[in-house]
Amino acid sequence: MRKTIAFLFLLPTLLLAGWKTYPEQKALVLTHLTIIDVAGGPPKPDMTVVITGDHITDLGEAGKVSVPQGGRIIDAGGKFLIPGLWDMHVHWYSRVQWTSTSLAHMADQL
């Protein structure tokens, strides 16, 4: 009986502890950038991309895309967006024990 009463008192606390509230995510707006078509089409200059949270929510020609109120606007003129490229910089090393000789050899190669 005691365990049941203790559980009933703790239950609301346990339920509320798992309740997460997320702040409203403001949009990130990249303007005047060039989008590279990875399917082989020509580059698309002077484009605007709207990103809300972790999703692209709008994309189109600069000036024709609705910019959400309160969004952070970044002028990306001269920059490129290449969809699909991420985490492409990786170093793979074998399980070789590094010695002062091997490190000196690597330094000579620079």
Q: Report all structural domains of the chain as residue ranges with CATH numbers, in order of start.
A: 25-83 (2.30.40.10)
Per-residue pLDDT tens over the stretch 50-60: 999 888 999 99
Per-residue pLDDT tens over the stretch 10-62: 667 766 666 565 667 789 999 999 999 888 899 999 999 999 988 899 999 99
Neighbours of 18 (CB within 10 A): 6
Q: Higher-confidence residue: 67 or 84? A: 67
φ/ψ (deg, to 5) at 34: -105, 125
Dihedral sign, CA of 76, 81, 85, 91?
A: negative
Global pTM reads 0.57
How far is residue 12's CA from residue 46's CA, in Å, rounded to a whole number?
53
Q: How far is CA 2 from CA 8, 11, 37, 62, 89, in A?
A: 10, 14, 66, 66, 58
With tokens 């049941």, the residue in question is: 4
